[in-house]
Structure 1
Amino acid sequence: MGSRAVDCTIAGVVGVVATAGTLGASRHGHPAHPLDALAFVLVAVAAGALLWRRAAPLTVLTVTGAAALVFVLRGYGLGPIFLPLVVAFLTAAPLHRRWPMYALPVVGYAVIVWGVPWVTGEPAPSTAAAVGIGAWLLTLIAVAEVVRQRREAIRARRARERDAARVAEEERLRRASDERLDIARELHDVLAHSLSLINVQSGVALELLDSRPEQAGIALASIKDASRDALVQVHTMLQSLRHGTEAAPLTPAPSITDLDRLVTHARNAGIGVTTTVSGDPRSIPTGTDLAAARIVQESLTNVVRHSGRTTARVTVRFLPEVLEVEVDDDGRVTEPPRPGAGITGMTERCRALGGTLTAAPRPGGGFRVLARLPLLRNESGVS
């Protein structure tokens, strides 16, 4: 049932009860003035005003109060004409400031007990009647306060629900943003690494195609392997996105424990890569393992891009609390690495795991990338 239908129902029920009660009170109460058309008009006006109690609660309170006052001053008695006024008061009081609203019953008490008898010349209510009227008005104030408290509790609950929904939406958007960033980072790492090697190897193949076709064939085979690996990894990521779940990988995920596989493409591109592992190799969290592997791949990709054909060294150190990954070369920087892609992606991976990354030219020439990834923190499940 809509609010308008509820208001119509309340107005109708109050009108019927007030009219019947007024007739009953007139028969048994011996009012000073017998009921006439005006009495029923006042009852109808007071009850009908309740149709607008939500839209204009103060106006409705004023109309019902005026109708009740005229009813009493005309000498029709203290009948159910006050029922519409009670409904109007309980509607308006919880919506406005307490003390102005709660002062109205006090004023009404003074009007009924002393004001009306003084104007009409009728005797004032007895002490018992005055006490009863006062108790009834105090009860009315208490009910209004209960309604107010209930409204405030509902508003507070709805505000909490809105805040919770807003926080949940912000968290959803943050997660979606993080997922997009992860996807972009993975695509960059896969495609940039493979395409850089393909670019280098295609140049080698073109250069040696006539003079040393066997070497050109090796370069073309490397291009085939790099492109196949890139296609497989991109296909896996697209399948995961399409189905909304973690797709089963078609090839093993790169791992820092398999350095030979990580540096294969760089070696095929003509980079002399040496690898060193120190410390106590052990199982590490999947996220840390993948980040370390991607850092090695991206660093070697930068060597292929910017340093010319040279040598590179990959050092992995398993320390008690930290995994260190260092990639440095002794080549010349033919073009400075542009921030925003490779180095930025490596830095973001480290920060996401609570680690750090430094990437800068070495004093004696060449370039060095050093990543430090915490182990104990990630092993405990905190990121």
Structure 2
Amino acid sequence: MLLALLAGIACHAAAEPAPEFVVDPAQLQSLGVGLQKLTASSATVGAPAPAKVTLPPELDMLISAPVDGVVTQVLVGPQDAVKSGQSLLRLSSSALGEMQLRLMEAGSRLQLARHALDRERRLFDEGIIPERRVQEAKAAQRSAEATQRQAEAALRLAGVGDATISRVAAGGRLDDGLTVHARSAGWVTALDVRPGQRVREADALLRLANPREVWLEVQLPVGAAVATGQQLALVGRDVSAVAQSLGPLVGEGQTQTLRARVTRGAALLRPGEVVQVSVPKAGGAGWVLPQAAVFHHEGRAFVFVRSTRGFVATPVRMSGGAGGVTQVIGELKAGQDVAVRAVVALKSAWLGHGGGD
């Protein structure tokens, strides 16, 4: 009887695979194994919450008409990608001509004021006029310079280049049209005008969005406890974000808005898109992994942790999950690499080393 029991225990021990098994780099590549590095443990994963993809205010630009005029040509279309400095549209404007005329007149007055100051200085040096006349000439020149700088600033604000401003100030040719350029790269998200349309100064022409940095506005139930700096994951996307602030106001749906900055995968998102975010719940701690990273053997859950020789089958306990991600608790450490792809193939290799099922 005792011999039979010992034989049964020995047989079961032989069937149980060792935790660590060897996988060389060539096998790792041929199996197509994907790894994810553990960063920091996070709170328990809660139910998904809706979120809208937004841009910081400085990256969502409204291009408005710099002067009154008529749109003569539109050079871009909706959803077009534009580069910094690219021409967007052209305006024909009589107001622009008046602004240039004021600059030309200011340039002429400044030139006369400089000549007058030179003449007064010569006469003063010869003792013909008093010094007061020189001081008056200096004041007139300073006034003329200020007038010209003001006229130049108005044209520069309208988008006129420095070369054109210098030419007009020197009495050169006037332009009857103006080209509006993109101040930074981005996408055309809205186009509000068409050729032949008359616009007034400050009317909206188009809108540019630069997705260099993407934010999420997550709608959470009132009273949700989310700490600043907490990691968030998007459902079904390789995208993560960091919680920044929870708004104090409550919306009509009895929700609060959590603003989060996307730290990975911003290129996969589009401004205005609505996504689902797995928001951690308060209490508990663990490691967030894709559900595909966890496998089961004889009623227990495991993950494969990369070792120097291959992988170690590490037992874990699942404490929650939603939307393709799961929360696990176990003997895991930050910095370890966990297999998240081709886990079934690794399980077969692991069981093959020990003769499991």
Same fold (TM over 0.5): no
TM-score category of the 2 structures, normalised to the smaller one: under 0.3
TM-score (norm. length: structure 2): 0.22
* Structure with greater proportional strand content: 2
> Structure 1 or 2: larger helix share?
1
- The structure number with the bigger radius of gyration is 1
